[in-house]
């Protein structure tokens, strides 16, 4: 009897300890999930930036141009606006503001948060639109596409806002989210507001196109590094110049400066705009083909990233290259992919 009582007491103690641990874990988890309320906002045309001046995620107070807005906030807004203008107005990429998926948003909403509240990332773009936060400058009907940018980031030295803006273009145009396309092409897009031209090229722009089977097998494993072996090479192959003239850009975009007076378009070079636009347009068609071939009932986060998408994405690249006058060999979706 004494043994049973001792055993029962031990079980009660163990269960109590377990309960306390679970309760503490739950409290910590809830605290981690609770994000800072962003009470300040700044509007630059259709870009709305929300931020805080104190506490977790506080932005730099530096205000060189003395306009009452922290330069960091002003500079994020200008880079996002410039990237959207360049891709969608100048280069004619499908505009997420006109996307059926997003249901006609009219603004870009940017949250500036501590990197720890963003899983350690510098930036995150979201693939669904939502009702915009209420602000005096807006209306109750406003809808927005959304991104978050790290409060530790200096946009005069980092082009993450451009990268995330390009993700919004991708999300509005196609269902595919395979990383070698999503991140690799977005890395190419960074050259729009970055400097030093096209960046590294680790595969001959001359081809052959399509690449040999051994290369194709490795491509989906490269993620963002596919920039150097696919996206940058085809940009160089189809666009030897890439200079963005003032006539092409328009004076407002060409002359846009950060708060410290440095230009937002840092080197005025971006090779490959036409071929990348054509690829995005092709992908907006081929995801419908994939949906039918693969017998999906709906698009989910899992099948948007599925390996079965890879041949369709590569076919879009080859179609676009061919449209740009590049000699491209035959490439079709393997029969075993289709069910």
pLDDT value for 17: 42
As a whole number, the mean pLDDT across the chain is: 91
Distance CA 222, CA 51 (A): 34
**Angle value at C-alpha 183, between 88 and 217, nearest 5 degrees:** 125
* Beta bridge partners of residue 111, listed in sequence order: 50, 148
Instruction: Return the percentage of the chain with pLDDT > 90, whole number.
Output: 86
pTM of the model: 0.90
pLDDT value for 336: 72
Q: Which two tokens stand for residue 244?
A: 């963005």
Q: Which two tokens stand for residue 278?
A: 């054509």
DSSP, residue by residue, 42-111:
EEETTEEEEEBSSSTTBPP---TT-SSS-HHHHHHHHHHHHHHIIIIIIS-PPPGGG-TTTT---EEEEE
pLDDT value for 249: 98
Distance CA 123, CA 104 (A): 23
Which sequence spans correspond to the domains of the chain?
32-173, 176-339
Number of Cα atoms under 13 Å in the Cβ half of residue 52: 13
Distance CA 105, CA 168 (A): 12
Instruction: Give residues with Cβ within 8 angstroms of 103, minimum separation 6.
Output: 129, 143
Asked if omega into 208 is within 30° of 0 (cis), the reply is: yes
Q: Which of 336, 328, 279 is nearest to 308 (CA)?
A: 336
pLDDT value for 331: 92
What's the first-to-final CA gap in the chain, in angstroms? Answer: 66
pLDDT value for 14: 46
Q: Which two tokens stand for residue 229?
A: 């072996």
pLDDT value for 339: 61
How many CB atoms within 10 Å of residue 324? 16
How many CB atoms within 10 Å of residue 212? 9
User: What are the Cα distances from residue 193, in Å, to 197, 224, 263, 300, 332?
Assistant: 10, 18, 9, 32, 35
Low-confidence stretches of the chain (pLDDT < 50) are 2-3, 7-8, 12-32
Considering the domain 32-173, what is its CATH architecture?
3-Layer(aba) Sandwich (3.40)
3-state secondary structure of 230: helix
Q: Which two tokens stand for residue 324?
A: 């740009």
Distance CA 101, CA 264 (A): 30
pLDDT value for 68: 95
């Amino acid at each position: 009897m004494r043994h049973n009582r001792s055993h029962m007491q031990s079980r009660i103690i163990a269960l109590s300890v377990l309960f306390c641990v679970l309760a503490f874990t739950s409290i910590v988890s809830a605290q981690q999930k609770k994000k800072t309320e962003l009470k300040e906002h700044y509007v630059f045309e259709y870009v709305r930036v929300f931020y805080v001046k104190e506490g977790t995620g506080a932005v730099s107070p530096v205000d060189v141009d003395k306009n009452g807005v922290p330069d960091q906030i002003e500079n994020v807004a200008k880079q996002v606006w410039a990237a959207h203008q360049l891709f969608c107005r100048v280069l004619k990429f499908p505009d997420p503001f006109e996307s059926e998926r997003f249901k006609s948003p009219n603004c870009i909403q940017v949250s500036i948060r501590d990197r720890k509240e963003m899983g350690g990332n510098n930036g995150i773009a979201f693939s669904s639109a939502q009702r915009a936060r209420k602000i005096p400058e807006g209306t109750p009907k406003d809808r927005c596409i959304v991104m978050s940018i790290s409060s530790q980031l200096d946009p005069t030295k980092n082009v993450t806002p451009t990268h995330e803006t390009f993700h919004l273009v991708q999300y509005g145009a196609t269902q595919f989210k395979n990383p070698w396309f999503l991140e690799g092409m977005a890395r190419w897009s960074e050259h729009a507001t970055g400097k030093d031209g096209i960046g590294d090229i680790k595969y001959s722009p001359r081809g052959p196109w399509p690449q040999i089977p051994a290369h194709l097998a490795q491509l989906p494993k490269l993620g963002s590094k596919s920039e150097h072996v696919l996206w940058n090479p085809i940009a160089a192959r189809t666009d030897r110049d890439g200079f963005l003239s003032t006539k092409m850009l328009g004076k407002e975009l060409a002359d846009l400066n950060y708060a410290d007076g440095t230009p937002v378009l840092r080197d005025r070079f971006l090779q490959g705009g036409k071929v990348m636009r054509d690829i995005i347009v092709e992908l907006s068609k081929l995801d419908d083909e994939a949906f039918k071939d693969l017998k999906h009932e709906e698009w989910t986060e899992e099948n948007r990233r599925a390996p079965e998408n890879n041949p369709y994405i590569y076919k879009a690249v080859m179609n676009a290259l061919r449209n740009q006058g590049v000699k491209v060999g035959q490439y079709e979706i393997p029969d075993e992919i289709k069910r």
